[in-house]
Structure 1
Amino acid sequence: MSDDSVRLSLRIHDECNGSDVFGSDICTCRPYLIFGIEEAVKEAQNGGSGVVIYFRKEGRALGEVTKRGADRASDYFTRTENIAGVKDMRFQALMPDILHWLGVKKIDRMLSMSK
């Protein structure tokens, strides 16, 4: 991955057991993960590198129990804040370390279903 001449497609995904493991449709996490995996494989098949980094930060790092208390999609963020006092506890500052450890110097394509 440290070869700048090889295209790199990257998906950074935060764990979501409800969707990723159990197939819940309360959120879009599983489709995002599947999209990232499929696109990473396509990149590798075309001679590039495809990477999916899977972070263990279930429930916006608030934990399973707290997340389950806010399991209605329509008011997920509001309920999470009411239960835990914050909308999101994930500490993103450490994320670039993983890219550094992998030797990533440039990313050609971030894999996201968002526009």
Structure 2
Amino acid sequence: MDTAPATAAIRTRVTIPLRFPGEHGRETAAEAVTFKGLADGAEHLALVLGEPAPGAMPLVRLHSECLTGDVFGSARCDCGPQLREAVERIGERGGVLLYLRQEGRGIGLYNKLDAYALQDDGLDTYEANAALGLPEDGRDYTAAAQMLQALGVGPFELLTNNPDKAAQLRALGADVAGTVPTGVFATDDNARYLSAKVRRTGHTIALPELAA
């Protein structure tokens, strides 16, 4: 039986300007929101961007932290481009980006780098996690549901290619009215990674090499 998570509360709100490399000086104003009472005790962050038009549903993105992709621009994944795309699209439409401290699909930074080493030997991203005795995807979105509830968000559309995110949020009582796909940021370096996400966990990523 699905159970709604315990209530969390807003701790702090502060406005910060966001500017990403390559954006030619373009700034996006965001309201950063912190919380208390989150189920996992982690320092997750919400960025409130823009204001939905009257009667329009907000756009929400759950973005799991990726130090290598978000900060250092690693091309082994598509996390950095997805983060920048989410800020832009949510800012235009109005909604919330939840930046969740779940590095490496929940296994942590060091374990993620260990998994990279195994991927260099031929395993895919999920097989590498399993070889380390770790879950293929250890993320839990209870805190995300709490954050959305504390912000009073719903109903909303979820910006994602991952069906598990929508399923978990709905099971936790979040009002996910529908999903909106992210862009496809395929490169020679991340092609195997993206292909594994489609084959193993049903991500809706239209990769040319997977077309029928």
Range of TM-score over shorter length: 0.7 to 0.9
1:50 to 90, 95, 98: 95
Distance 2:133 2:80 in 1: 24
Is the Cα contact below 8 Å between 1:39 and 1:50 reproduced in 2? no
Is the Cα contact below 8 Å between 1:66 and 1:84 reproduced in 2? no
Residue 65 of structure 2 corresponds to residue 15 of structure 1:
yes
User: More helix by proportion, 1 or 2?
Assistant: 1
Is the Cα contact below 8 Å between 1:62 and 1:84 reproduced in 2? no
1:80-102 superposed Cα distances (whole Å, 9 cap, x missing partner):
11113321221223321111000
Equivalence for 2:84: 34
Equivalence for 1:46: none
Alignment of 1:51-90 (within 5 A): 51-71=96-116, 72=119, 75-90=124-139
Partner letter of residue 135 of structure 2?
V
Partner letter of residue 159 of structure 2?
L
2:142 to 93, 97, 104: 93
1:24 to 70, 74, 77: 74
Is the Cα contact below 8 Å between 1:70 and 1:79 reproduced in 2? yes
Give the superposition deviation at 1:25: 0.7
Distance 1:68 1:28 in 2: 16
User: What RMSD, in angstroms, separates the aligned Cα atoms of the two structures?
Assistant: 2.1
With normalisation by structure 2, the TM-score equals 0.46
Higher relative contact order (CA 8 A, sep 6+): 1
Give the superposition deviation at 1:79: 0.6
Secondary structure at the aligned position of 1:97 is classed as helix
Give the superposition deviation at 1:26: 0.6
Larger radius of gyration: 2
User: More strand by proportion, 1 or 2?
Assistant: 2
Give the superposition deviation at 1:67: 0.3
Identity across matched positions, percent: 30
Distance 2:56 2:112 in 1: 39
